[in-house]
Amino acid sequence: MKFRWNKKYLYWGTTAFAVICASLLFYFIIFRMDIFLGRIKNLASILMPVICGAIIAYLLIPVVNFQERRIYYILEEKRHLALDKKHKKIIRYICIAFALVFAGLVIYSLLAMIMPSILESIISIINDSPRYVQNIRHWLESLLKDNPEWQTTVFDYLNRYSPKIETFLNVEVLPQIKQLLQSLTTGVFGTLVFIKNLLIGLIISVYMMAGKEAFVTQSKMLVYAIFDTENANSIVKAFRFIHRTFGGFISGKIVDSIIIGILCYIGTSIIGTPYGLLVSVVVGVTNVIPFFGPYLGAIPSAFIILMVNPMHCLYFLIFILLLQQFDGNILGPKILGDSTGLPSFWVLFSILLFGGLFGFVGMIIAVPVFAVFYRLISEYICGMLRRKKLSARTDDYRELDHIDPIEGTFIEHTEK
């Protein structure tokens, strides 16, 4: 007897298997979060070379595309040369090599110019901490000389905690800084694992940049092979939005933070703030984090300046307030625009959530990742409303009391 395969059984079997897997995954996410995150971290550590390569390729592809467009324009438009696939492949690898060398030179130049001064400033702060404590003591004496009770209370706290802070800086922080400085001067950057991941990641990034069109094409073929045409179109559209959101936000935020760091260094140099380079680097790096970044950078920087000169600390806080107002109202919108379209509440929520789960990196990627989820959920809700022949406009629901179940008309709320 010939066996006849029924596709209906395959469909229901696959559906049941997917439901079971989704239920198990949901259970582990809710009740075994530590195990779930541990598995993700293990998988990420295994795939770290691929992740490094993908990040490098994603950041350098705009540089490669810019070079290719310029070279094609010069050769094809200006000199009227016909380029075949072989010539274009050679041009691409030349552009990739130039992009990698350019990125390496930029990173090396920044490290060579900034890192020695930063480490020297940190060690100077730690070594001179007793003198800075005395500066704060003298400043408080002059400030509280007319209030003996407050003076006694403040100095009790100062005498109680200043030895502990000094011991912590000299015993815990200073040896690590000196060890880091020694490793940097001898050319040892990180561990062997980091070097291995970086080297393999560079090789992987070359393959990714060289075959970027092939990867995109194969991904589209896979999507259209698995899903029906309508859903596949929606998925491709969603990934285009993801690319625009991540590319625009990450690159724009990096440029914005570099400009803020440079402006901070210029401003601190003008007002004579001590450790201006160190403070500017801290402010620029933390500015990558939306909303919380300016405060995360300004608070430790202000504390460092306070130990040296309290009045300069006041000048610095005023300058940082003006700088962040300039960044938030003028520079940031000019560079980033409305790249995410995420309301302010969800910006704050996403940073808290991803920062708690993934630390500093999570705070950086929180806004674009959550913006993608927010957009996808919004489009899904709007699609469900349209299928029910209801309005998908937010304003139509603002004063809504109820919807007539028969005619489908919107009845506004009227207060008595």
* 17-41 residue pLDDT tens: 888 888 877 777 777 767 767 777 7
CA 184 from centroid of its chain's CA atoms: 26
Residue tagged 């209906």 (tokens): 8
Q: In this model, does residue 371 exceed pLDDT 70?
A: yes
279: closest CA among 291, 263, 255, 256?
263
Q: In this model, does residue 255 exceed pLDDT 70?
A: yes
Whole-number pLDDT of residue 415: 59
Cα–Cα dist 221/232, whole Å? 10
At 273, give phi and psi (nearest 5°).
-65, 130
Cα–Cα dist 301/278, whole Å? 8
Whole-number pLDDT of residue 98: 92
Summary mean pLDDT of the chain: 77
Whole-number pLDDT of residue 97: 92
In the chain, % of residues over pLDDT 90:
3
Q: Which whole number is the average pLDDT over 186-208?
A: 75
Whole-number pLDDT of residue 368: 82
Q: Which whole number is the average pLDDT over 50-76?
A: 87
* SS3 state at 342: coil
Q: In this model, does residue 210 exceed pLDDT 60?
A: yes
**Angle of helix 85-127 relative to helix 48-72, nearest 10 degrees?**
120
Q: Which residues pair with 411 in a beta bridge?
A: 402
For 95-107, the pLDDT digits (tens) are: 999 999 988 888 8
Task: Give the residue, 309 or 149, on which the prediction is more confident.
Answer: 309
Residue tagged 């069109």 (tokens): 213
Residue tagged 């990450």 (tokens): 250
Cα–Cα dist 98/24, whole Å? 48
